A and B are shown apart, each in its own frame.
With several copies, the nearest count.
Chain A
Amino acid sequence: MAGFNKVVGSYAEALDGLSDNMTVISGGFGLCGIAEGLIAQIQRMGTTGLTVVSNNCGVDGFGLGLLLEKKQIKKMISSYVGENALFEQQLLSGELEVELTPQGTLAERLRAGGAGIPAFFTATGVGTPVAEGKEVREFSGRQYLMERAITGDFAIVKAWKADRYGNCIYRHTAQNFNPMAATAGKITVLEVEELVEPGELEPSSIHTPGIYVNRVIVGKFEKRIERKVLSTAKV
């Protein structure tokens, strides 16, 4: 009955098979809902030439910024990368390539990747630099771009609670890109706050069914806050 016990005991096991020049999809929005321990493990492994698909690229010294420090990232596919001085530096020096994708298009490209849809049409980006090189097509009198699906060799996903089947739920807005990332990795690794017994999660409330998940590791999270704003700061 070991087939569905996806829990691994070490970060090394969790990312076993990750090698240079692979594509890694990372859940998270800014520093919210990121697989902190898995990112740190990639840094320890020193894997280079990575294409990283993530809405953002962390900040200097935290999150995916850690991988920039060691120049492990060759290319980022993101919607917003403005929080990181090291990013800017590597981009300007030509060490780093970036493919900017509108946030909703990025989310949908990942969903499509997981759902076996190779391409779809969206009005987002028509008439903008994002449209360059893409097929434009009219439906019902409006123009749309054809956008392609994204899949990755690995997906690193941060969840709140998971069972050994890999069924999981996300906490509050730490959900963000994680459910799509989970579906789009050839190997999907879940780093979770808490492991629960099968049956504890209500079947209809599970965000990501275990079928998408290959490995589960219980992590420890710092959960750094990017912009702490209090109700007293503004009326």
Chain B
Amino acid sequence: MALNREQIAKRVAQEFYDGAYINLGIGIPTLAANYVPKNMEVMLQSENGLLGMGPYPTETQVDADMINAGKETVTAATGASIFSSAESFAMIRGGHVDLTVLGAFEVDIHGNIASWMIPGKLIKGMGGAMDLVAGARNIIVTMTHADKHGNSKLLSDCTLPLTGVNCINKIITDLAVLEVKEGAFHLLERAPGVSTEEIISKTAGKLIVTANVPEMQV
């Protein structure tokens, strides 16, 4: 069966590793912070200028001067540092963030991503997404495999305006984990109970499937 949000977040968290600096986008990526394995320490970067983001505050900890890139109130973890937006993006652009996880509307077999703009709808802006996909060492997209009309979001070529080109390494959806390389999606894992056939039918871009694709552990 297709994974729910929490299950996707759990699978995303399996990509984390001890000592990693990670930037998590709004939504499911942020949720993944709740599933950092015990005995593992990661440091979350928030692009408004906070390295070492802690949990949401208690009522008494709430401070208007302490927010994350989603403009939510947060706390700073022990060992955090706080800096300017220029410094924050120097970090991101310079390739110092180990892993970025973010959502998307579409991803294609070239590793292109479209995530910020749907023509005809109001353009709200790209925020830091273009910098993140251009700068992070390793970029994972997490999204549903198909849209609500059943149309695949894994395409041969993105149809929407791009956020970045040739930058996505891995995709974690409600149905599968896929690697993007050499002009194709490569199926690595499937959601428990989801057939390879279903994934094939919902993946519009070229998909490489080897025998015996393992199930995700979530």
Chain A interface (Cβ < 8 Å from any Cβ of B): 1-4, 29-33, 55, 78-82, 88, 91-92, 98, 100, 102-108, 110-111, 113-117, 122-130, 160, 163, 165, 167, 171-180, 183, 198-199, 201, 203-204, 206-207, 209-212, 223-235
A-chain residues with CB within 8 Å of residue B21 when the two chains form the complex: 211
**Residue of B51, B85, B112, B165 most packed against chain A (CB within 10 A):** B85
Asked whether, in the complex, the Cβ of B131 is within 8 Å of the Cβ of A102, the reply is yes
**CB neighbors of A among B26-59 (8 A):** 31, 34, 39-43, 45-52, 55-59
B interface SS class: loop
Asked whether, in the complex, the Cβ of B86 is within 8 Å of the Cβ of A231, the reply is no
Q: How far is the CA of A32 from the CA of B74 in the complex (A)?
A: 13
Q: How far is the CA of A183 from the CA of B125 in the complex (A)?
A: 25
Chain B interface (Cβ < 8 Å from any Cβ of A): 17-21, 31, 34, 39-43, 45-52, 55-59, 61-68, 70-74, 76, 78-97, 112, 117, 122-131, 134-135, 161-166
Q: How far is the CA of A113 from the CA of B56 in the complex (A)?
A: 34
B-chain residues with CB within 8 Å of residue A235 when the two chains form the complex: 34
Q: How far is the CA of A174 from the CA of B83 in the complex (A)?
A: 9
Given known pairs A103-B85, A206-B81, A226-B71, the reply for A80 and B97 (CB within 8 Å) is no
- Which residue in B49, B70, B134 is a CB contact (below 8 Å) of A124? B134
Asked whether, in the complex, the Cβ of B130 is within 8 Å of the Cβ of A130, the reply is yes
Asked whether, in the complex, the Cβ of B122 is within 8 Å of the Cβ of A88, the reply is yes
Nearest residue, chain B, Cβ from A145: B134
Q: How far is the CA of A116 from the CA of B130 in the complex (A)?
A: 14
Asked whether, in the complex, the Cβ of A123 is within 8 Å of the Cβ of B135, the reply is yes
Kindly provide the distance from the CB of A170 to the nearest chain B CB, expressed in whole angstroms. 8
Asked whether, in the complex, the Cβ of B123 is within 8 Å of the Cβ of A108, the reply is no
Kindly provide the distance from the CB of A74 to the nearest chain B CB, expressed in whole angstroms. 18
**Residue of A91, A123, A207 most packed against chain B (CB within 10 A):** A123
Kindly provide the distance from the CB of A9 to the nearest chain B CB, expressed in whole angstroms. 18
Given known pairs A110-B86, A206-B81, A211-B96, the reply for A128 and B49 (CB within 8 Å) is no
A-chain residues with CB within 8 Å of residue B87 when the two chains form the complex: 209
Nearest residue, chain A, Cβ from B67: A32
Given known pairs A172-B66, A173-B82, the reply for A127 and B41 (CB within 8 Å) is no
Given known pairs A79-B125, A82-B124, the reply for A55 and B73 (CB within 8 Å) is no
Nearest residue, chain A, Cβ from B46: A173
Given known pairs A117-B93, A125-B130, A128-B130, the reply for A228 and B62 (CB within 8 Å) is yes
Going nearest first, the 10 A-B pairs with the smallest beta carbon separation are A3-B19, A104-B89, A82-B124, A104-B131, A3-B18, A116-B93, A115-B90, A127-B165, A198-B79, A223-B64
Q: How far is the CA of A79 from the CA of B124 in the complex (A)?
A: 8
- Which residue in A32, A103, A165 is a CB contact (below 8 Å) of B79? A165
Asked whether, in the complex, the Cβ of B125 is within 8 Å of the Cβ of A211, the reply is no
Q: How far is the CA of A232 from the CA of B62 in the complex (A)?
A: 12
**Residue of B34, B58, B63, B79 most packed against chain A (CB within 10 A):** B79
Asked whether, in the complex, the Cβ of B64 is within 8 Å of the Cβ of A32, the reply is yes
- Which residue in A115, A127, A206, A233 is a CB contact (below 8 Å) of B94? A115
